[in-house]
Structure 1
């Protein structure tokens, strides 16, 4: 939407907007008429990520105390990630079906309310409440929280891309994404404080997370009512005007630019999921070596494992999100200004490449934590902004279906392949941590190649457009 469409007339309001624009211009260039919508979207994604990071540590701790046959901790996590991808692939056609039949606002609000209602359900199903442990409940929750994370956030960014043209979105998305980084910091800080300092049971986070989610949903409803979609001028769109009745998969396969984005997201998440699986296994080994489990009862072992895992992930999420927030606030917009899309698209693979190169030579838990913190902080700020900006030129009739499919199916299918990587590596090749690091280095080189192909595709389309 052009900034001229949002200029308010009252003098007092204009003065306030001018002052706000001067403050916000420290982060990115913004005009007074753009402030209301941009801050509303900032607040919405802030609340969504606060909710997610309140609940996210529960995912790791619940899975850590889930015993399934003779599977190791890393195999339980890997299999859970694979099942998550299978479930998501089955849900993509359902989302496309709903998109074709529901107004935008009802779809966004309805999806959010669905997840909000399930938080208290999982709180009831938690271990040591109704029974000692409901079979596979940890795996089911792991699958559900992953679906929640990718679907709710993906549809928010599709909504944001629907409201801005490419020029304005490239300026304002770094500021909106700062809301996501800030929400992640606040959510993980609250979780860490309540669990570690206040001694609160980690499962209580499942009752707190719906509160910011409700506020975010109310904001989405309000924005949708007040804002009409911008008159878009798609540059990279091959689709005919009007409603697109094709499935999400056909839309993606029929557009080289969208297919390149899908490959980029897939390789990015295969790399990061491999790293997360390695980190999870290393954390469980570290916990086991810190306590003498031979003199502890099964209940004590489960309690220590759960609380230690929650504390570790709450702490690492805090540092990842704090560093990511600082990068988002002070680096990302300047990378876009001076390096363009190439700046935010190419730097993250090099950060990951350096991290896994170091880890392949120094593979202890400390170095692994530092390298994963750097990688995740860069991905949560620089890479995520790049991913969202790539969607700005895409026409609305393709935007929601294709983005939802890529940000869910490609992310979780990458999780599935990361699971297979772990299973094949541990069961058939007796792979060491160093072997997994080398696999990731090869994948990062492919990820970098796809990023270069995306930039070339954008240049070709821009040349045609001009």
Structure 2
């Protein structure tokens, strides 16, 4: 492997040999390997820190959002005018909370996708990356004032905003990583980077659970804003590495705007088989997640009466998810990815979800719902997502920044919208019917994973993955 972005990669052993050695390494050996990777690839430290701060900030907010979605205090969620309008027409908003929130989220994504496309098309990376995060920081300061003043309707706006923040901020992160690291480096390093996010995903809900009763919900938003500020620092430090990488590749750098049409991302998804497969995989993945999320919200609404108790409950679920995620990332993800590629990382979670929903169909117990939720999300974060992000290192920049954003936002929230209303219909027939339908969705997830595996194999291993077009 040639020298790149200011550092020289040492000769790497065969992937199967590395995977075999990984299986027998102790945690201390893995720590030494991580330290060696930091020495070999200096940008890894800033990438790790960036994702840690981003996911910590998000997971400080997520329990607050989930608690609002499960809130029985309708005035904390919807504006008074909307409540009065619905009451005059005999509509009980409290029974449609999640359906309305997910609908609002999808509409927001549709409106913001062209804005994001315009930003990416017209401004260089050094401008639009910090701008995205500074905008989110400003929003958090505004929400702090809204929560501190207990403004009615704050819940709906905040719920929608957190969903938008999560998708756009994380999408931008992984797009940026694919500018910095090659496909070969991604297979070696993305497990470490993802682990940084997982540690953040563990620390975030832990902070929320420990601080929510002492500081209150409003002050937690300031904690998250401080962490996003650190993300901006990491972006500025990683910029030179990305520019050097692009100079070595001989391609147009990130200091120039990508150009092209504002809606080019959606058009590429429609045109390219690999992107269509990734979109289908995303749709069914969102489907199984939304079905079980709604059942979890029903449980929280039934058993926890106040916002602090619900927030602590959701923080506990997030802690379990991220604990399992980091164990898998440390001991499984890298070994599978370097030895077998993306196939097992996509197919194993799909199979586990299918088994989990089949078990819930037979016995939809609350504890089993929580267990399957933990397995579902841990499998997504530790296996499926690193696999998908590795694929994006092998496509052109417009696909990374535009098509990927379209899949991660419009397709994602479109799936939310479809399945949240489907759940409302299916729930009338009982939990068994909900999870029975989920078995079919999980089967679709497996089919989508297989399609992605097949299409990404056709990309081959060209010498310049950053500029190679997608397979058609």
Pair in the same fold by TM > 0.5: yes
Q: Does 1:96 align with 2:117?
A: yes
Q: How much does 1:338 deviate?
A: 3.2
Distance 1:376 1:28 in 2: 28
Distance 1:444 1:330 in 2: 26
| Residue in 1 that maps onto 2:438 | 440
Contiguous gaps of at least 5 residues in structure 1: 9-20, 235-241, 288-303
| Residue in 1 that maps onto 2:43 | 37
Q: Is the 8 A contact 2:43 2:241 kept in 1?
A: no
Which of 173, 198, 204 aligns to 1:181? It is 198
Distance 1:2 1:73 in 2: 60
Q: How much does 1:213 deviate?
A: 0.6
Q: Is the 8 A contact 1:233 1:393 kept in 2?
A: no
Distance 2:95 2:181 in 1: 42
Number of matched residues?
422
> What does residue range 92-171 of structure 1 map to in structure 2 within 5 Å?
92-126=113-147, 129-130=148-149, 133-134=151-152, 136-171=153-188
- SS of aligned partner of 2:459: helix
Contiguous gaps of at least 5 residues in structure 2: 9-27, 75-82, 251-257, 465-472
| Alpha-carbon distance change, 156 to 446 in structure 1, aligned in 2, over 3 angstroms | same
Q: Is the 8 A contact 1:357 1:441 kept in 2?
A: yes
Q: Is the 8 A contact 2:286 2:416 kept in 1?
A: yes
Q: Is the 8 A contact 2:179 2:242 kept in 1?
A: no
- SS of aligned partner of 2:245: coil
Task: Say what the alpha-carbon RMSD is for the aligned residues.
Answer: 2.7
Distance 1:33 1:27 in 2: 10
> What does residue range 17-416 of structure 1 map to in structure 2 within 5 Å?
24=31, 26=33, 30=37, 32-34=39-41, 36-63=42-69, 64-67=71-74, 69=86, 70-71=91-92, 75-126=96-147, 129-130=148-149, 133-134=151-152, 136-195=153-212, 199-228=214-243, 230-231=245-246, 243-245=259-261, 247-287=264-304, 304-416=305-417
Q: Does 1:7 align with 2:13?
A: no
Distance 1:104 1:2 in 2: 25
Moved more, 164-173 or 45-54: 164-173
Distance 1:205 1:87 in 2: 24
Q: Is the 8 A contact 2:38 2:45 kept in 1?
A: no
| Alpha-carbon distance change, 161 to 150 in structure 1, aligned in 2, over 3 angstroms | same
TM-score normalised to structure 2 length: 0.83
- SS of aligned partner of 1:178: helix
Q: How much does 1:172 deviate?
A: 1.1
| Alpha-carbon distance change, 52 to 404 in structure 1, aligned in 2, over 3 angstroms | same
Q: Is the 8 A contact 1:54 1:187 kept in 2?
A: yes
TM-score normalised to structure 1 length: 0.84
Distance 1:274 1:258 in 2: 24
Distance 1:172 1:244 in 2: 31
What are the superposed Cα offsets for residues 258-280 of structure 1, whole Å, 9 maximum, x if unpaired? Answer: 11111111211121111111111
